[in-house]
A and B are shown apart, each in its own frame.
Chain A
């Protein structure tokens, strides 16, 4: 199905509005969309909505044999697929460019950045390790760009990625794996959640993803949390994944608008502030839900 393409009046309106310091949906240039998080009945099941984009993330763990080259590290796999529920233009079975970009970004942000401590997932060296499976389902991709535009050709990013990475971060923080005990000769006992409180994952850091869309006319303007038309018409997209402690995990700027170093540093500062806000907000929500579910008795 043909995705909607921007028409000339739409383009002109968008650019004229930007020149007058106005965004299409009335937000400030550095104002993100409204955020909402809801946890499911299982630990590690999270639904995140950013504006009209909704993403579901689910973490589960099972014990498997480790890789022979790395007998003391657990395994992590991130599975992300766009179904027609996210939008009628996503066909089942055929990976669109956007889907591959999303999967690659999530992989970089959570797996390659070593956010999860893999050695803590080891139960019995060489025999048993935890295999974490993070499934990401996009329920509504209201902020995606079409595959034939400069922004997506530059490697994707934008509203959908922000929402998906927040859902993943929340799911990883919320999830608790069952407690295990290893007895002398290699016998492993896995305790049910009723017997012993499940244990949260050991995370080295929690990265948060912040995207900017760049557009230059009289001067370069960066829009925080771009959505829809802004992504399609942007000259370039900058994706930053960083922690609340101001450590950059991923900087993705593939082609597009040339940025002066000062603009880039400025964007990083704004993203750092946003990451700090998200960290406190997420922490409060996760603890609330744990308390509500009575995960542990102290």
Chain B
């Protein structure tokens, strides 16, 4: 049942995805990810020296810091940081670098209306963190975690099923009956996905689906899960397409839905793409 959304999107349309590799000077990897204008900047440093108290003898320590745009980091930020740590851990091979630290900083670039992070902002944070880890190149990973947010809107009139929309805007998730973010780990260890052989299999690693009035039914949850997977797969394709251009163009044109044919076609486009340097930083000793 198609519900007309405020910005004219279909129920299963994401906002244009923005992927920019920021090349921040003091960290190992950095990237900015945005669902439309809802952007998050993430940076990763690692493996680096770790404090004695946080050192672990057989694996690396992950530290995540979440910083909202305008307010001081409070309880919500700490909660999100703990969740991010948990959901990114399956994608990183920690045993490869024991007694070291992998330090992630998630900087929100979008003002939030309330203290809570909206599900799309959480999804953008997860995607930005994955991009930063890929950009760093120094951290061994098993797969890529991609996330998308889903909201269940109140039905227009009395109906049996409510409408599920993908990538809700801040206003939509504020008024939704239930909403949440779904994070999937894409890794070849789980085989290929049923949808398309070009995408590795996905496993749900985290979700914060919650309902305003406290109850939701399982049917709605599994439909939301499936819709979240569709969104996460689109994000994965966009990330995969941006990797060959990581050292070249600073930003990509907006991408929406990508089909498998376009992905294969992108391999041939590499030669046509003009690689331009964003900073001529090797010319002089810049500090």
Which residues of A approach B to under 8 Å, CB–CB? 1-2, 24-27, 33, 40-42, 45, 51-54, 56, 58, 60, 79, 81, 83-88, 92, 133, 135, 137, 139-143, 159, 227-230
CA distance A85 to B28 in the complex (A): 10
Collect the chain B residues with CB atoms within 8 Å of residue A1's CB: 48-49
Give A58's nearest chain B residue, CB to CB.
Answer: B69
Residue contact B286 to A52, C-beta cutoff 8 Å: yes
Residues of B near A140 (CB, < 8 A) are 24-27
Let me know if A139 and B286 touch, CB within 8 A. no
Cα-based distance from A24 to B22 in the complex (angstroms):
26
Question: Does B107 contact A142, Cβ atoms closer than 8 Å?
Answer: no
* CB pair B287 A52 closer than 8 Å: yes
Query: B159 contacts the other chain (Cβ, under 8 Å)?
Result: no
Tell me if A's interface is mostly helix, strand, loop or mixed.
Answer: loop
B111 at the interface (CB under 8 A from A): yes
Q: Do A85 and B285 touch (CB < 8 A)?
A: no
**Which chain A residue shows the least CB distance to B287?**
A228
The segment from B37-45, B181-189, B213-221, B267-275 found at the interface with A is B37-45
Contact A141 B286 (CB under 8 A): no
Cβ–Cβ contact A135 & B287, under 8 A: no
- Top 3 closest A-B pairs, CB basis? A228-B287, A85-B105, A52-B25
Chain B residues with CB below 8 A from A85, complex form: 24, 26-27, 30, 41, 43, 105, 107
Residues of chain A within 8 A of B103, CB atoms compared: 84, 88
In whole angstroms, what is the CA distance A58 to B68 when docked?
Answer: 11
Residues of A within 8 A of B72 (CB): 79, 81
For residue A133, give the distance in angstroms from its CB to the closest CB of chain B. Answer: 6
Asked if A139 and B287 make an inter-chain contact with CB atoms under 8 angstroms apart, the answer reads no
Since A2-B49, A143-B287, A229-B287 are in contact, a sample of 5 more A-B pairs with Cβ atoms closer than 8 Å, ordered by chain A residue number, is: A51-B287, A79-B72, A84-B43, A87-B27, A140-B24
Q: Which of A58, A159, A227 contacts B111 (CB 8 A)?
A: A58
Interface residues of B, dominant DSSP: loop
Residues of B260-287 whose CB lies within 8 A of A: 281, 284-287
Mark out the residues of chain B between 8 and 50 whose CB falls within 8 Å of any chain A CB in the assembled complex: 22, 24-27, 30, 37, 41, 43, 45, 48-49
Contact of B287 among A25, A83, A88, A137 (CB under 8 A): A25
A51 and B70 contact, CB distance less than 8 A? no
Q: Are B27 and A56 in contact (CB under 8 A)?
A: no
Q: How far is B139's CA from A290's CA once the two chains are assembled, in angstroms? A: 42
Contact B26 A60 (CB under 8 A): no
- Residue B65 CB within 8 A of the other chain: yes
Shortest distance between the CB of A212 and any CB in chain B (Å): 16
Q: How many residues of B contact A (CB 8 A)?
A: 27
Contact status B70-A142, CB under 8 Å: no
Question: Is B107's CB under 8 angstroms from A139's CB?
Answer: yes
- Contact of A227 with B287 at beta-carbon distance under 8 Å, contacts A83-B67, A137-B67 already known: yes
Beyond A41-B37, A85-B107, A140-B24, whether A60 also contacts B70 by CB under 8 A is: yes
Q: Is A24 within 8 A of B285, CB to CB?
A: yes
Asked whether, in the complex, the Cβ of A51 is within 8 Å of the Cβ of B286, the reply is yes
Contact A137 B107 (CB under 8 A): yes
Q: Bound complex: CA of A54 vs CA of B22, how far in Å?
A: 11
A41 to B69, CA, bound (A): 14
Does B109 count as interface, using CB distance less than 8 angstroms? yes
CB distance from A43 to the nearest CB of B (A): 11
Which of A27, A41, A60, A84 is in CB contact (< 8 Å) with B65? A84
Complex CA distance for A159 and B25, rounded to whole angstroms = 14
A267 to B286, CA, bound (A): 24
Interchain CB contact (< 8 A) of A142 among B26, B30, B37? B26
Which B127-147 residues have C-beta < 8 A from chain A? none
Q: Is the CB of B26 within 8 A of A88?
A: yes
List 28 A–B pairs whose Cβ atoms lie within 8 Å, in order of A's numbering.
A2-B49, A24-B287, A25-B284, A26-B285, A27-B284, A40-B109, A41-B37, A52-B25, A52-B281, A52-B286, A53-B25, A58-B69, A79-B70, A81-B67, A83-B67, A83-B105, A83-B107, A84-B27, A84-B45, A84-B105, A85-B26, A88-B26, A88-B103, A137-B107, A139-B22, A141-B26, A142-B26, A227-B287
Contact check, A135 vs B69: say whether CB atoms are below 8 A apart: yes
- Residues of chain A within 8 A of B45, CB atoms compared: 84, 88
The interface residues of chain A lying within 8 Å CB-to-CB of B107 are 56, 83, 85, 137, 139
A58 proximity list for chain B (CB < 8 A)? 69-70, 111
Contacts of B26 in A (CB 8 A): 85-88, 140-142
Alpha-carbon gap, A24 to B45, bound state (A): 27
A88 in contact with B27 (CB, 8 Å):
yes
Q: Which of B25, B109, B284, B285 has the most CB of A within 10 A?
A: B25
Give the residues in chain A near B24, CB-CB below 8 Å: 54, 85, 139-140
CB proximity of A40 to chain B, nearest CB, Å: 7
Name which residue of chain B comes closest to A1, CB basis.
B49
